[in-house]
Amino acid sequence: MYRLDHVDAFDPRLTHEESVGIHMCLDKIERYIAKGRLMEAQGARSMVLIMWQALTKEPLIDTGWGEL
């Protein structure tokens, strides 16, 4: 499982809108966990990592699409 420790919603490479989107997604993950919906939380976590990889061009996980 990949961790979200390196995802920084305040990263200066992000636009304001991208930063807000990352914040909203991270909040959604926490809400899923609080409700005991761990499978949904894992899916949302994967989406945040893919979004982070696409926005920052940091290779983190294999998305099945090769290098972005």
pTM of the complete model = 0.78
Give the span between the Cα atoms of 56 and 6, in whole angstroms.
11
Confidence (pLDDT) at 5: 85
Give the span between the Cα atoms of 17 and 20, in whole angstroms.
5
Query: pLDDT tens-digit profile of 31-60?
Result: 999 999 999 999 999 899 889 988 988 766
Confidence of residue 66 (pLDDT cuts 50, 70, 90): low
Both tokens of 42, joined, read 């894992």
What are the sequence ranges of the domains in the chain?
16-56
